[in-house]
Amino acid sequence: MNFLEEGVAIFDGEGNVKFMNQRLKESLGKEGRTYYESLRSVELIGLIQETYQTRTPQEKGITFRDRTYAVRTFLYEDGVGILVKDITDRELMKETQKEFLANLSHELKTPLAVVMNTLETLLDMEEESVKRELIGRALKRVKEAISLTETVYMLSFSKGKGKVREEVNLEEVLSEVLKDLEENIKEKEISVEIDLKEKCLKGNREEIKVIIRNLLQNAVEYNKRGGKVLVETRKDENAIVLSVEDTGIGIENRKIPLILEPFVKGEESKGLGLGLALVKKIAQNYGAKINIQSERGKGTKVEIRFPEKV
C-alpha cells in the first residue's frame, strides 16, 4: 500500500498499529505502538476513538500544520482502519476560484454601473459638449467590460488553433494600445520610449495586440509617477524578441515564477491577475518563451522570444 496516494493505517481491537504506509508516516505519523502514540494530529486521534466507541465509520476534514486532509475511517475486523488524503491544493483552488468569481463580479459591475449612471444623466442633459464627454466615458467602460469577458473566454476556452496568421504591423498595434492607455499614461506622467528594430511579426493581429496591451498596461500600472517605459523589438538568431521594460515597483523574487499563473497579481493590483496568464497562454501557442527580470523598487523587464517560423 506504499504506492497509494492516500495515507493508510490499520489498528487492531486494542488500538495497536498493524500497518501504516509510508505516506501516512511522513505526513501525520511518528514512532509509536498504538494509534494515539503513532499519530501527531489530535483531531485524527479523536476521530479514530469515536469510530472505536460507536463502531460507525466516520468522515471529516482535518487541518494539521497548514495542510488540509480528508479522513475516512472504516471498520476492519475488530479494529479500525483510516484513509487520509491531502486535499490542501484542492481547497486552495476552491478559495482561489471563489475570490476570482467575487472579483469578476465586482470588475463587471463597476463599468456597467458607470454606464447606467451616465445614460441616466444623458436623459436630462441638453449641452452637446458635455453629452459627448459622457458618452466617451461610457464607451470606455463598455470596452473595459468587453475586454474582461474576452480575457476570461480566451483563458478558459481558446485553443489558439485555426486562427489566421499574417504579418502584423507592430507600429500600428502599438499606436492603438498607447491610445487606449493614453489617459493612464498622462495621469502618472510616464514617458514611453519605442525602439522597434523589427516592425513586423507573423501572427494573429488580435492576439499580438492582447500581448502588447497587457505588457504595457502592467508597465504603466506598476510604475512610479514620472517613470519610464521602454518597448523594444529586435532579431536574435532565429527569433523575434519583444520586450517591455519599466522603472516601477518590481516583483518579489519568490513571486516571479508564479506571476504568469492565473489569479496571481501584484501587491498593489486591484484586478483579477489574468493579464500575464493570458500572455503566457498566447505565447505558448506560438512556441514563444517568456523571460522576466525584476528587481524590487527598480523595475521589471518582460521579454518574449517568438520563433521566426510559427
Contact 171, 162 (CB under 8 A): no
Q: What does the pLDDT look like over 61-113, one tens digit per residue?
A: 999 988 899 999 999 999 999 999 998 888 777 776 777 666 666 667 767 77
| Confidence (pLDDT) at 89 | 82
Residue 116 pLDDT grade (very low, low, confident, very high; cuts 50, 70, 90): confident
Q: What is the CATH number of domain 7-86?
A: 3.30.450.20
Q: Which residue has the higher pLDDT, 280 or 228?
A: 228
* DSSP reduced 3-state for 11: strand
Interatomic CA distance for residues 249 and 216, integer angstroms: 15
pLDDT cut 90: percent of the chain above it? 51
Arithmetic mean of pLDDT, 136-152: 72
| pTM check: above 0.85 | no
How much is the pLDDT for 135?
Answer: 81
Looking at residue 13, what is its pLDDT? 94
Query: Tell me: the pLDDT tens digits for 151-172?
Result: 666 666 555 554 667 899 999 9
Higher pLDDT, 270 or 215: 215
Report CA 104 to chain centroid distance, whole Å. 13
Residue 307 has pLDDT above 60, yes or no: yes
Q: What pLDDT score was predicted for residue 276?
A: 84
- pLDDT value of position 119: 78
The C-alpha atoms of residue 114 and residue 134 are separated, in whole angstroms, by 10
Q: pLDDT class for 52, splitting at 50, 70, 90?
A: very high
Architecture in CATH for domain 90-156? Orthogonal Bundle (1.10)
Domain 166-307 of CATH type 2.50.20.20: no
Residue ranges of the domains in the chain? 7-86, 90-156, 166-307
Which pLDDT belongs to residue 208? 92
Is the per-residue pLDDT at 263 higher than 60?
no
Q: In sequence order, which ranges of the chain are alpha helices (DSSP H)? A: 22-27, 35-38, 42-54, 88-123, 128-156, 170-180, 182-187, 205-221, 275-285
